[in-house]
Structure 1
Amino acid sequence: MSLTLPTSILNIFQKKKTNFSAGISILPDKVQLVKVESVNGSMQCVGFDVVSTTTDDQAITALETLINKHQLVSAETTIILPANKVESTQLDTSELPDREVTATLPWKIKELINIAPQDMVCDYIDMPLQPTGQQPKTQVLAVSRTYLERVIKPFHDAGAPIHALTTEQFALAKLQTTQDAAQLIFIQHHKSDAILLIVKNQQICFARKIRNTAATIDMTPEQLQMGGSDMIAIEIQRSIDYFESQLKQPPIKNAFLAMEGNNADLLVDALNQVLPVKTKLIPLDNLDGQSDLDSSYIAAVGAALYSQPLKIAVEAKNEN
């Protein structure tokens, strides 16, 4: 089952063989890029960039700028679509059409998605874990065809190959390198709802958006200490409880956090005082070089490594 939104229908041109790959993350207020090169079996970050934006038109112009500036004609690029452009819903797996699923899905979910079925491109995944006693669910993703065509056009015009179109959740899941150990990931960008994931063996086992958390980025240390982190802690705890009790899974040991702004360390400290799992800043240890690359680029890093199979190792017994 594909984990990316389908690209063949949009005439993405043939890929070129290259040692370079790039990840682009389109966010509500910026477009980020990370470019990597395969060197002796390891991935080296050879450049990163960001362009501030406020509109879709500016985001498309930013793509044109990054393609030219970083010579993406010589790289395969994975593009992360902005969360506010991707809608999702769940269907009972038994309700999925048997034939031509991606063609007929828009009409199946037209009452659940705020995109006209004529303009809708869909993909779906079967969740690897299902609650006991309930009908198996399938997660359906939808995005506007018109928007996708706008995103792809600068690459097509420049002759720059696209490896995949995907979402932040799948890019982050692909970064996991620990076998058979579930990890919780909490991501907060400016002007965006937070994303909370639980991943295991590079598969998304649980995912949801958490509203009304963006203000945490700009809180003062005093506000965080006086309860500003409580909502995030509650949502993380609820997600852990669901994963362990409803999905009947072993306890989660680690929670990873990536947050823009200056409050990430403070939030980690606050969460470690109230949560039963060890909370850490999300690491960038899948890449060598560019030591000044910070965790706010984690989605673009995941996209840059999306085409590179990462080795999964058994969790060390002394990891905490």
Structure 2
Amino acid sequence: MILNLVTTLQKLIRRKPLGQPVCLEVRPDGIAWARAAASPGQSLGFVECVSAQRQDTLSKLVDDQGWAGVPAVLVLPIDQYQVFQVERPEGVEDSELADALKWKLKDFLDFSPADAVSDVFAFPEDASRGRGPLVNVVAARKSLVRELIGLVADAGLELDRIDIAELALRNLAARLDQSNRGVALVHLRDRYGQMVICQGDTLYLSRRLELSYDDLRDASSQESAVQSLALEIQRSMDYFESQLGQVPPSTIQLVARDSVLPLNSMLSSYMAAGIEVPEWSQFGLSDALDSRCLPAWSAALGQGSPA
């Protein structure tokens, strides 16, 4: 399921963009991009910039890469939207579901539903545990989405759609889940992490993980920080088993911001599941993936496959 937030917001009727999309994640510290990640000729990169430099940075990137008129997929980081599980009402058409359900979020959002753009994606039936049909509702601020739409348009790209981080990471998890027994994937950034658990191409769980790389690097706080991170990961695994009724994966795939820290062995001592790093060569990469590019690169993995 790919989020059609752009269509929901703008109601645009436009020509279908041609060519392989470029996938972008606009971060506080720069712009991550990836294109044709499913092929041996894939390309990806990260350009550092502050917020005030985003437009010039992206425009230059488009010029340098020859992307004028190329379709673009924007990936929202987990801190730019919220996801809630809501009962699916009877008699509501799929096309009307997002608008119908976003008003149920008024007690959970820190802004008015009138200021939200929303969409839905499926919640696994076998994880509802007798609660009836559920759907995931995504809500983001209209102002944020408008800003990103303008950024892409002014750079000369043709916006195709907006995706969210967990659905992008699902693409990688599905590739790693060759046995269809489930994969847990943890992506660590400077100030937070994200964990997803998938079976095949079905997303079961997504959690934000609180962490600080400053604490992980500081010898005086390192052990406590590792223990806290391991506890958050383990709680997510326990929830997956006890509340969703699923068998937890035996290993966790870890993509970390700082490859210098031996986080695999540090976390393993506190967890039952094994900690591994994805084998990047199976994706045609000669070097370890720059973790800053992971959501954009993972979104590009899904190009050309059904969502």
1:25 alignment partner in structure 2: 25
Q: Does the 8 A contact of 1:23 with 1:300 survive in 2?
A: yes
Unaligned runs of 5+ in 2: none
Q: Does 1:219 align with 2:214?
A: no
User: In structure 1, what is the Cα distance between the partners aligned to 2:112 and 2:60?
Assistant: 31
TM-score if structure 1 supplies the norm length? 0.81
Aligned to 1:73: 68
| Residue 238, structure 1, aligned to residue 235, structure 2 | yes
- The alpha-carbon distance between structure 1 residues 241 and 158, as it changes in their structure 2 partners (threshold 3 A), is closer
Hey, what's the Cα distance between the residues in 1 that align with 2:282 and 2:259? 23
Q: 1:43 to 1:95 in 2, by over 3 A?
A: farther
Structure 1 match to 2:108 = 112
More divergent stretch after superposition (95-104 vs 199-208) = 95-104
Deviations 1:108-161 (A, max 9, x none): 322321233232110112311424243443221111222212211233345422
Question: In the TM superposition, what are the counterparts of 1:1-320 in structure 2 within 5 Å?
Answer: 2-9=1-8, 10=10, 11=12, 13-18=14-19, 20-36=20-36, 42-53=39-50, 55=51, 57-73=52-68, 75-94=70-89, 100-128=96-124, 129-175=126-172, 176-177=174-175, 178=177, 179-191=179-191, 193-211=192-210, 213-215=211-213, 218-220=216-218, 223-224=221-222, 226-263=223-260, 265-285=261-281, 287-289=283-285, 291=287, 293-309=289-305
Question: Cα gap change, 1:260/1:96 in structure 2, threshold over 3 Å: closer, same or farther?
Answer: farther
The one-letter amino acid of 2:241's match is: E
CA shift for structure 1 position 207: 1.1
Determine the structure 2 residue equivalent to 1:313.
none
| CA 1:26–1:96: 2 relative to 1, 3 Å | farther
Q: CA contact under 8 A between 1:88 and 1:113: conserved in structure 2?
A: no
Aligned with 1:255: secondary structure?
strand
> Which deviations, in whole Å up to 9, do the C-alpha atoms of 1:178-225 show, x marking residues without a partner?
24221111112123x3211111112210111123x124675246743x
Counterparts in 2 of 1:152 and 1:13: CA distance versus 1, 3 Å = farther
Cα distance in 1, alignment partners of residues 131 and 199 from structure 2: 21
* Equivalenced residues, count: 299
Where structure 1 has 5 or more consecutive residues not aligned to the other structure, the ranges are 311-320
Give the Å deviation of 1:262.
Answer: 4.2
In the alignment, is the contact (CA less than 8 A) between 2:46 and 2:292 conserved in 1?
no
C-alpha distance in structure 1 between counterparts of 2:23 and 2:99, whole Å = 28
Would you say the 8 A contact 2:250–2:274 is kept in 1? yes
Determine the C-alpha separation between the residues in 2 that align with 1:59 and 1:121.
23
Contact 2:281 2:287 in 1 (8 A): no
RMSD of aligned residue pairs (Cα, Å) = 2.8
Partner Cα distance (1:13, 1:217) in 2: 48
Distance in 1 (CA, whole Å) between partners of 2:230 and 2:144 is 35
Q: Percent identity at matched positions?
A: 20
The change in CA–CA distance for 1:172 and 1:110 in structure 2 (over 3 A counts) is same
